[in-house]
Amino acid sequence: MNIGEAAKLTGLSDKTLRYYESIGLVSAKRSSNGYRLYTDKQIDELHFLASARQTGFTLDECKALLALLRDTNRHSRDVKAFVTDKLMKLDSQIAALSKMKQSLEQLSSRCNDNDDSQCAIIEGLSSNTLCSKEENNE
């Protein structure tokens, strides 16, 4: 099938499919007029990629996962190890964002929220307490 239909089936855009080909993920054969021709197996692979991307894997990680998908001699142990590693990365991302959130909430709670120019948020960001040291418990 042509790229348009492949895009519809997989939920990826045609641009994305061309991009994936350009980085060597899924390369379609061409018909005589130069149009890309996707096989059913490639559609499956693209589905797989879409799922993996949605689940938070980077394209580099997707490349590795795709290699595992294609390797019928893979061991589920290796796949699991890969995912366990990714889970740790996700955890640290979540922790970083949570820390930011906490800092912001703390600053925000001290802001008077009125017409005054004086503002605890501005002051908090201006002081170096955020970057240089732990917050002192109040």
Work out whether 74 is an interface residue with its own copies (CB under 8 A).
Answer: yes
Compute the least distance from the CB of residue 132 to DNA, in Å: 17
DSSP-derived secondary structure for the chain:
--HHHHHHHHT--HHHHHHHHHTTSS--EE-TTS-EE--HHHHHHHHHHHHHHHTT--HHHHHHHHHHHH-TT--HHHHHHHHHHHHHHHHHHHHHHHHHHHHHHHHHHT---SS-S--HHHHHHHSTHHHHSPPPP-
Member of 35, 41, 93, 135 binding its own copies (CB under 8 A): 93
Work out whether 47 is an interface residue with its own copies (CB under 8 A).
Answer: yes
Q: Which is nearer to DNA, 24 or 34 (CB)?
A: 34
Contact residues for DNA (CB under 7 A)? 2-5, 7, 13-16, 18-19, 30, 32-36, 53, 58-60
Compute the least distance from the CB of residue 101 to DNA, in Å: 16
Q: Which is nearer to DNA, 35 or 68 (CB)?
A: 35
Compute the least distance from the CB of residue 21 to DNA, in Å: 8
